Amino acid sequence: MELVRRLVAEKLRAILQYVEKLQERGWSRSRARDYYDLWRVLGAYKEQVDLSDFASFLREKCAIRNVTFQVPDDFFDETMLAYIEKTWNQWLGPLVPGLPSRP
């Protein structure tokens, strides 16, 4: 399931990259779909994905875009999460039947 491992890494990298943009510019495109995709993929495949040494793998992916993280909380920036909650239905409602009402 290397493909799933790469997908998870790219989604997390994108979240970090957009947190930086949100902090720099004060706005950013919603990453609601990335959080939703991570929730669905990890829920469906977490037992099949090798997450050993995942932090190093993710750091390599992030380095390509000059993005860094220190702790898991870096992926849950309060400003970004507030924006995602605000845009959750707008971005995902038309795409996902039975969308959970909250992220």
Say yes or no to pLDDT of 26 above 80. no
What does pTM read for this prediction? Answer: 0.85
- pLDDT cut 90: percent of the chain above it: 52
| pLDDT of 1 | 80
CA 10 to chain centre: 8
Specify the amino acid at residue 45. Answer: Y
| pLDDT of 102 | 66
Nearest to 4 by CA among 64, 45, 61: 45
Question: Cβ of 54: how many Cβ atoms within 10 Å?
Answer: 14
Instruction: Give the model confidence (pLDDT) of 10-22 as tens digits.
Output: 999 999 988 877 7
Instruction: Give the model confidence (pLDDT) of 33-59 as tens digits.
Output: 999 999 999 999 989 988 889 999 999
Nearest to 1 by CA among 44, 48, 51, 53: 48
| pLDDT of 37 | 94
